[in-house]
Structure 1
Amino acid sequence: MTDKDNAVTLKEWANIAIAKHTRKIFKYEARVLQDKDSEDLHQIRVGMRRLRSAIAGFAVALELPPTVNQKNIAKIGRSLGKLRDLDVLLANLANNYRPLLPAGEQKSLDKVIKSLNKQRKKEVKQVRQTLNSKLYLNLQQELQNWLEHPRYQAIGDLSIYPVLPDLLLPQISQLLLHPGWLVGVELKEGTIQFPESLNTKAVEQLLEQEELILHDLRKSAKRTRYNLELFSQFYDDIYHYYLKQIEQIQEVLGQIQDCYVLREVLEKALKSVVAEKMPELATLLTQTRSQKWQEWELLQEEFLDDKTRKELRQTIQQPRVNSEMRDQVGGMRN
């Protein structure tokens, strides 16, 4: 396997990325089966996501076995994700919300937590089945075989530097053109007009109406973030700033979405509207959504600004090439 210090071509960097994330998945596999620390599950899930991103990002250069594809990796990841989401939900309820509730609501919440822990046991069994399934074992074997004898498309022999903008700009375009950016704003003769500060009720109504489109924007931000992270070593501070901002978009919209997921889980367990059985918790959820909406508005205004969009595109088109790499690239051209 090529090391980072000597890698120049598209195929070399593809190999580095796939090997890195494959190793991470295999490292945490046994720990997840033991189910002693929820962080192990988080790490293998991240490895799956990043492997999927690497395969997508370097797809033009790769010739992979049939089983090693985005669809199969996503299927395995979804199984792991159900347990991970449940772990996050349980931690959120126990650590962030329960201490803020009155005694009566704490008792009600404890019943919900107990019910969710029973559900968690079922999800653990499902994860173990997934990691022992024919699909996962075939994926594991074919990844190992490919890393021992990798195969590439002809374009893989190109230097990575000239093609970086071609790899990244399509994903940036998808993110910037997502309709979720226009939630809550008005367009008049091509000009974007931002509303005055919305009160809590108006925010709630807007989020109820646009929940799905904002959730889809979050997924687009996540894909973009993983894609940008693949190539972060080739860019300077401005690139890393926008990478951080896109990650923040994912986080803020994710926290808004988490409130709705939490409400659905609670109402299913309580067999009642949360506001009726647990009014203090309902108020906390509303306050969280309102706070996160204010954070979202700042990001929304930044990424709808023409200067931001222009700077992001220009940054992508100007990867950093140090003198040593420039000599290597020049040597390849000669």
Structure 2
Amino acid sequence: MRSLRWAAALLSATLFLSACGGGDSEETGAPAAAEKRTVTAGNGTIEIPAAPQRIVTIGNTTLPLIDMGGTPVGVTEISASELGLIPAEQKATYDKATVLGSSGDQVDMEKLAGLRPDLILAQLPASEFELIKKQMESVAPTVFWGLDVEWKELAGGLAEAGNVSAGLTGQKTEFEAKVAKIQQTYGKIIDSTKFVNVDRWESSDPGTFSIADFGCVEIAQGDIDMDFPRAAAGADPLGWTSLPFEQIKSLSEYDVITYPVDAQGRPTKPFAPVAESNTWKALPAVGSGRALGLFCPGNNSYGPVLRYLDSLDAALATLPTKE
């Protein structure tokens, strides 16, 4: 009886592969799912399907892949606050996928195997990946990136592995055009202005804020070459240090202050206590229209970064002429 069950399972698997595989399509010339190619990532060189059809995204790979037009069949959970920042059609794509767990180290392996993925894309802490690496690789080819990978590199790797390079190409073109427009339109302001980026998070201690040098401000610093404070090479990010409200007055040494707002232009809920303080209101930049609220829906893929650049463009346009 056991042999019969095994034979039936083998036959079923063969029929499934026959339906999905085969040679090149004579009508389209597209590579069949059975064809292979290799990609290189944090876990080495991996052989993957040339045209993956059933992709699972683990950790930070979900929203970037969807942003480039991918449609994962399985995902790890995305918070409601993050989902509230993405376009409706992208949220619909996420909602259609099966949620496999709250995070990478909480993936339901049985449910994962049941989805019959042909590719798994993962970005999570290396220590967490090591705990599930063998299990995931036994289900499908797995491509992993650590958290130290820069966002553009991650986007490129995901586009290559997930076969969504067309989506990435359009986004990169738009990104480069927006960056060039900001540099050309506001070049004189950028060259002569001392900026500072301030932030506050839900986890911040009461009565504190931070001079933040990570997040979307990295785009302003690195791609547009705006003069924001940043940590010295090898030092901890400035944003890790909480400063008491009493030090808000030290921001008066900067020409322009940027701070976080939501999609409607209101100070984010965590930052609202800073914006409501008398010390903030007394700052010269605030009183003279040089405090700019910027919307940053994320900085881990091109889509949200493009929206940040739109916000930055609109904010810079409001700056009064510098005397």
TM above 0.5: no
Query: Whose relative contact order is higher, 1 or 2, with alpha carbons under 8 Å and at least 6 apart?
Result: 1
- Higher relative helix content: 1
Report the TM-score range of the alignment, normalised by the length of the smaller protein: under 0.3
- Higher relative strand content: 2
Question: What is the TM-score with the length of structure 1 in the denominator?
Answer: 0.27
